[in-house]
Copies of this chain bind each other. A is one copy, B any other.
Amino acid sequence: MKLSEKRLLNKKEQILISAIKIVNQKGFQNTTMEEVAAELLMTKGSLYYYFKNKEDLLFQCHKLVLSRAIEELQAHIDEETTYENRLRKMIKTHIDYAIEEKETFNIIIKPSETFSGTKLEPILEIRRTYAGYFYRVIKDGISAKEFKNDEPKIVSMFLLGSMNWLQQWYNPAGKKSKEEIQDIYAEYILKILK
């Protein structure tokens, strides 16, 4: 890769990071190109040098966040340890993202309201990939007789749903720390898997 291409990529990522920040504050629909640009001390027009349109920008935000999360999940899956351990770590990771990156991580939730046509399917695909990691570890844990359950797909969705919901009610200043929550969620799901 040429230096200039690298620089372009860097800038693009910089923009994405800013955009993610704004989107996490204001939500998707309420984020304007103007605001994203302002955050970067750029002008609207410049954004269009890097991204085809708003949908494209949002799409790449989502992709960036999810792909980062996926990397972490992958690392956990690759560890040589019990399936329980892997699952626990994956839960930790997911909850971190769900709480910290709220909105961007969240297109996960209603992509069809944000994306239309061509971009929707890729988004859904990434989402499926992501969910697949949870499915995998549960399924493999079952095969390895470490877990016991007949519906790995449903369990994984059950888990994902309960974790995604956290953003709605979890209060960092509340009684339970994030870590405690992470442990409790792991405990609960393991009860289902026994």
Binding site for B on A (CB under 8 A): 26-30, 102-103, 106-110, 112-113, 131, 151, 154-155, 157-169, 176, 181, 184-185, 188, 191-192
26 A-B residue pairs with Cβ-Cβ distance under 8 Å, sorted by A, are A27-B112, A29-B113, A102-B110, A103-B110, A108-B164, A109-B110, A110-B168, A154-B184, A157-B162, A157-B165, A157-B166, A157-B168, A158-B162, A158-B165, A158-B185, A158-B188, A160-B165, A161-B161, A161-B162, A161-B163, A161-B166, A161-B168, A162-B162, A164-B165, A165-B165, A191-B191
Q: Cβ of A110 and Cβ of B162 under 8 Å apart?
A: no
Q: Cβ of B108 and Cβ of A110 under 8 Å apart?
A: yes
Chain B residue with minimal CB distance to A27? B113
Number of copies: 4
Given the complex, which residues of B lie within 8 Å of A113, measured CB to CB? 26-30
Q: Cβ of A165 and Cβ of B154 under 8 Å apart?
A: no
| Listed residue (A108, A157, A162) with the most chain B CB atoms within 10 angstroms of its CB | A162
Main secondary structure on A side of the interface with B: helix
| In the bound complex, CA of A38 to CA of B33 (Å) | 27
| In the bound complex, CA of A155 to CA of B27 (Å) | 27
Given the complex, which residues of B lie within 8 Å of A165, measured CB to CB? 108, 157-158, 160-162, 164-165
| Listed residue (A102, A113, A164, A165) with the most chain B CB atoms within 10 angstroms of its CB | A165
| In the bound complex, CA of A112 to CA of B159 (Å) | 24
